[in-house]
Amino acid sequence: MPIIKIKDRLFCLPLLLLSLTSCLQDDKKQLPETDEGILLTSMTDAGIDSVIISNIDTAIRNGTYPNIHSLLIARDNKLLYEKYWPGKDQNWGQDLGITIHGKDSLHDIRSISKSIVSACTGIAMQQGKIKSVDQKVFDFFPVVFSMIAASN
């Protein structure tokens, strides 16, 4: 039988504790996240049929739905799909031709902003964060309002 010295036992103790704690850890799966801290999940884990999304991708690539530049799908505050395609673009009416788009691309979005703001306003009203569409914007930025009032 080999003789184990006290100092060898002390060296092995932290390793033993480390291995035990890793075995006892919670079985909750750590979700990956983007560089921006957005949680990622798979379509399967989110209950989304990946065949449908694949068909959408194919239809966009073959021109069935022309000039779609991106599609992001999130469910339960987790991003499960992010894809970008090349397409025609403009910068304030100046034709830029076919442009490669990506998550960091600047994009001339124009009137889509109204649709997004409208949807977000409706959600905020439903959650009680906005009282009505007649509520003043400065109600949400009291510090800015007080700075403007003080400068006059």
**Residues 102, 51 within the same domain:** yes
**72 near 84, Cβ under 8 Å?**
no
Is residue 9, in this structure, part of any structural domain at all?
Answer: no
- Span 126-140, average pLDDT: 90
Residues 84 and 69 sit within 8 Å (Cβ to Cβ): yes
Judge if 44 and 80 occupy the same domain: yes
Domain identity same for 42 and 54: yes
Going 55 to 58 to 59 to 60, the CA torsion angle's sign is: positive
Q: In whole numbers, what is the pLDDT of the chain averaged over residues?
A: 79
**Residue 102 shares a structural domain with residue 137:** no
Query: Does the pTM exceed 0.95?
Result: no
Number of domains in the chain: 2
In a domain, 58, yes or no: yes
Structural domain boundaries enclosing 75: 35-108
More confident residue, 149 or 20: 149
- At residue 112, the pLDDT reads 81
Reported confidence tier of residue 83, pLDDT bands at 50, 70, 90: very high
In a domain, 102, yes or no: yes
Is pLDDT above 50 for 4?
no
